[in-house]
């Protein structure tokens, strides 16, 4: 990832007591501030971190209002620091109607007005001002046997509308994670409950649940790998991931029966042509001349490399196991004694080596020293699997996994290929970037050791 790849947002910062916004006076008008965050990271986490860094204030993301293609997305955040002197850093408190037209589109203004209104109708529970205090009361009430005094240490990883993933710190030192999904989508809570039952050593225990929010609470299980990234912690995460994957091979049939989706190489292989055809279409939509498009010949070479890689991987008879579809370093917690995994919204049964490659990619971006760690991490992961597969198959699987991991990440469930997402300019830009990455990985071309039959 290039260090210059950023996403730009307008900020609608809400003062909850007065239900007004913070703006900047500019040329006799009031504009909303703008922030930039890394393109490939969690938006909620990066937005709240950037706000804290720039203005020394704690906030919670309530929603992201996308607007039209030509309008910047608007991040709606609630200011949580009651004593913050916003005037000192150049902000003014204003009602929504005084914000300039150039700062916010009409549809964004309408949605923001609904959030600012006292009515709770029509918006998700985590778009509502004051939901943080309600959540804290619920957690305390659900655990009456515990003394819980919350402090201002709040860390939000995801959030907007009906979705949230946030950690609340306490004066007692114990932290609590609140996770919620759309009330119509109960799959993740079910999956998390199943995994916690089968693999309790790899997931934090569930302490409380709330049906109207479709939310559950777990006790803090340590510092995230992202917040404590070192060679030692990376090795601990890699070893734990391999152990979880190997343990899950004994339960895959039960997990499928419990509702886990299949995401194997055969499915990806059957959609390679469709995927590369889309990449050819996305390349034609590129307006920038800063980077070259992949031409027809390069895309055909990529198609062949992906086909070969799928054939080789399928020949290895990799045992199907648990896949974490969002295995970034923020979803791995370490407490010194053990390593646990959270945020199982995308949990599949499929090829374990692809999840490992996704983790390696995140570790590589997390530290300037990580490039020197990768060889030893690959050796460690291979050692964990040694004995579970033939050595030649293990070698082949690990060789082709980096290319297939990128293709699998792009393909996901594949439903976007038949939805309006395929025409979204931002998604097309991401697809082009991933296509170039796959082409670089595939050079020199993967040897055609195992033809398909």
HEC profile of 89-104: HCCEEECHHHECCCCC
Res 308 pLDDT > 50: yes
275 band by pLDDT with thresholds 50, 70 and 90: very high
Digit-coded pLDDT (tens) for 12-65: 999 999 999 999 998 789 999 999 998 777 899 999 999 999 999 999 999 999
| CA dist., res. 128 & res. 209, Å (int) | 20
5 in helix, strand or coil?
coil
Digit-coded pLDDT (tens) for 112-144: 999 999 766 778 899 999 999 999 999 999 999
Question: Quick one: what percent of the chain has pLDDT higher than 70?
Answer: 96
Task: Output 452 or 3, whichever has higher pLDDT.
Answer: 452
Question: Which runs of consecutive H residues, i.e. helices, occur in 118-186?
Answer: 131-142
Classify the phi-psi angles of 206: left when phi > 0, otherwise alpha if psi is within -120 to 50, otherwise beta: beta
| CA dist., res. 393 & res. 382, Å (int) | 11
283: which strand partners? none
| Complete domains list, the chain, with CATH | 6-116 (3.90.79.10), 131-219 (3.30.200.20), 223-441 (3.90.1200.10)
Angle formed by the axes of helices 391-411 and 272-284, nearest 10° = 50
Res 311 pLDDT > 50: yes
Task: Output 2 or 441, whichever has higher pLDDT.
Answer: 441
Res 332 pLDDT > 90: yes
Digit-coded pLDDT (tens) for 55-106: 999 999 999 998 776 689 999 999 999 999 999 999 999 999 999 998 999 9
Mean pLDDT, residues 398-411: 96
């Amino acid at each position: 990832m290039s260090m210059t790849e950023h996403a730009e947002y307008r900020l609608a910062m809400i003062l909850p007591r007065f239900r007004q916004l913070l703006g900047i006076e500019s040329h006799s008008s009031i504009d909303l501030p703008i922030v930039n965050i890394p393109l490939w990271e969690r938006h909620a986490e990066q937005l709240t971190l950037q706000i804290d860094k720039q203005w020394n204030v704690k906030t919670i993301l309530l929603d992201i209002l996308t607007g039209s293609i030509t309008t910047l997305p608007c991040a709606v955040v609630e200011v949580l620091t009651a004593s913050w002197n916003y005037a000192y850093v150049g902000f003014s408190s204003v009602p929504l109607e005084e914000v300039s037209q150039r700062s916010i589109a009409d549809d964004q203004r309408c949605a923001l007005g609904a959030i600012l209104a006292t009515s709770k109708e029509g918006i998700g529970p985590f778009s509502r001002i004051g939901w943080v205090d309600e959540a804290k009361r619920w957690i305390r009430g659900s655990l009456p046997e515990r003394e819980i005094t919350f402090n201002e240490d709040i860390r939000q990883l995801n959030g907007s509308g009906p979705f949230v993933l946030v950690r609340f710190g306490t004066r007692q030192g114990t932290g609590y994670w609140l996770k919620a999904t759309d009330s119509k989508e109960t799959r993740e809570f079910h999956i998390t409950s199943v995994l916690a039952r089968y693999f309790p050593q790899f997931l934090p225990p569930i302490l409380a649940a709330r049906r109207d929010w479709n939310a559950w609470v777990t006790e803090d299980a340590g510092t995230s790998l992202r917040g404590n990234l070192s060679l030692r912690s990376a090795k601990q995460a890699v070893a734990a991931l391999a152990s979880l994957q190997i343990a899950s091979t004994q339960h895959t049939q039960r997990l499928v029966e419990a509702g886990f989706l299949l995401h194997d190489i055969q499915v990806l292989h059957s959609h390679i042509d469709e995927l590369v055809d889309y990449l050819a279409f996305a390349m034609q939509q590129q307006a920038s001349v800063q980077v070259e498009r992949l031409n027809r010949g390069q895309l055909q070479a990529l198609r062949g490399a992906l086909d070969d890689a799928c054939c080789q991987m399928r020949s290895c008879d990799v045992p199907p196991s648990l896949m974490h579809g969002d295995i970034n370093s923020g979803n791995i917690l370490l407490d010194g004694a053990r390593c646990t995994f959270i945020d199982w919204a995308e949990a599949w049964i499929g090829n374990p080596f692809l999840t490992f490659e996704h983790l390696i990619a995140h570790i590589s971006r997390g530290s300037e020293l990580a490039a020197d760690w990768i060889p030893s991490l690959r050796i460690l992961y291979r050692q964990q699997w040694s004995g579970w597969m033939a050595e030649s198959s293990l070698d082949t699987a690990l060789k082709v996994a980096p290319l297939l991991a990128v293709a699998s990440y792009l393909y996901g469930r594949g439903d976007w290929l038949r939805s309006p997402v395929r025409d979204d300019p931002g998604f097309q830009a991401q697809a082009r970037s991933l296509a170039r990455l796959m082409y670089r990985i595939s050079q020199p071309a993967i040897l055609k050791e195992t033809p398909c039959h």
